[in-house]
A and B are shown apart, each in its own frame.
Chain A
């Protein structure tokens, strides 16, 4: 049964991917890529990776789709048909590469094989020792925050840097100040849409802290919670207008909070060093598991602040662009 579900979902995924390649209307492409992400999300759940599915659902299907549409608004909707030569050449190359890769897969361990090298290397350590060494049930959170805390710090910095990049690229003039009489410009908007948004946004806002603080016990954590909060704010801007969002959370505040998030993460590491342990070794903060839990909470908070603010900044920048 599970095999059929897997094959079905993967086929839908491939079909969506191929459909994206053939579509010329970029708005349709953006919508299809949203569907693509949702199907992908279902595959991740099926493959026992709920944390990843969670992230893909809010980031891949939500934020990326909105950002793509916001960019298409600025760059134009129609795509030019490519030359025949380019498409034949590309197709040939893709087919040759694909066949070579498929030939390569014949040697790979079969799907779900417990004796595969990837299951016997470092994973058993994480699974066997997390309860004792970190003391949180969600192994993914333990690995993310404690065992591989360096990696995660790097990723947080990358997210922050990307926001800086967008701020520089789409920066220049500040988004125009809100004038009196601007705000209710979209009053004629669909009542149903506004009603549903008014119902969903508060629920989403409540979901974010739950995902944040329960992340050690169930799928979730700073990345997901940040993306959910960011998504809720983007939804608010989509329905009620970007000016209202800019008024609610000005960009200068978001920039400071995003930087503070990175600082919280790095600062936790510096504190552990000052207490005589290694960088991001949470045992410095107290005996196990309390010290580990304090450290995880601190860095997850840093991740949450950075990711949430970066998501909102990214959307604000794209949405405010046309108004200048």
Chain B
């Protein structure tokens, strides 16, 4: 039982990661894909934070009353990654907005024929 609880956070990470992966590969809407990428990203955050937890530890803020602290390094890596995550999400969304303005759709299957040239057999330079 102890063993199962000890592995449970990792399994939750795996489930989230696969949910994100599924959205990214199976669903065609570009905004939805970005949300899926966000879920994938959060699963990685969670994996890092999970790896840093110490049984009986306290948050890594020094205090005379405590001696055991949680690992501060994952916190540092992840808190900056979250801010970078929103910035890159914004770039992705901006791309989606531009694609919508140019092609009138952000559904992958509708974009595919628009993106390929008229005659795919002709492969000249610059095609």
Contacts and interface: CB of A to CB of B under 8 A. Distances in A.
Interface of A: 3, 6-7, 10-11, 13-14, 17-18, 20-21, 26, 29-30, 33, 36-37, 40, 43-44, 47-52, 54-56, 59-60, 63-64, 67-68, 70-72, 74-76, 79-80, 82-83, 86-87, 89-91, 93-95, 97-98, 101-102, 105-106, 108, 110-114, 116, 118-119, 122-123, 126-127, 130-131, 137-140, 142-144, 148, 151-152, 155, 158-159, 162-163, 165-166, 169-170, 217-219, 223-224, 226-227, 307, 310-311, 314, 317-318, 321
Interface of A is mostly: helix
CB-CB nearest 6 A-B residue pairs: A90-B26, A110-B6, A162-B87, A112-B55, A48-B70, A71-B93
Contact of A98 (B2, B18, B54, B95): B18
A152 B54 CA distance: 25
Given A48-B57, A63-B86, A68 B49 contact: no
Contacts, number: 314
A111 B38 contact: no
A75 B50 CA distance: 36
Contact of A162 (B6, B29, B80, B88): B88
30 contacts: A11-B12, A21-B22, A26-B31, A36-B39, A36-B42, A40-B45, A48-B60, A49-B59, A51-B79, A60-B85, A75-B106, A79-B28, A87-B27, A93-B21, A97-B18, A101-B17, A102-B11, A106-B7, A111-B50, A114-B54, A114-B55, A119-B71, A137-B62, A138-B60, A155-B81, A162-B84, A162-B87, A165-B94, A169-B98, A170-B97
Given A14-B19, A50-B59, A74-B100, A112 B90 contact: no
Q: How many interface residues does chain B have, given as a range?
A: 35 or more
B94 A86 contact: no
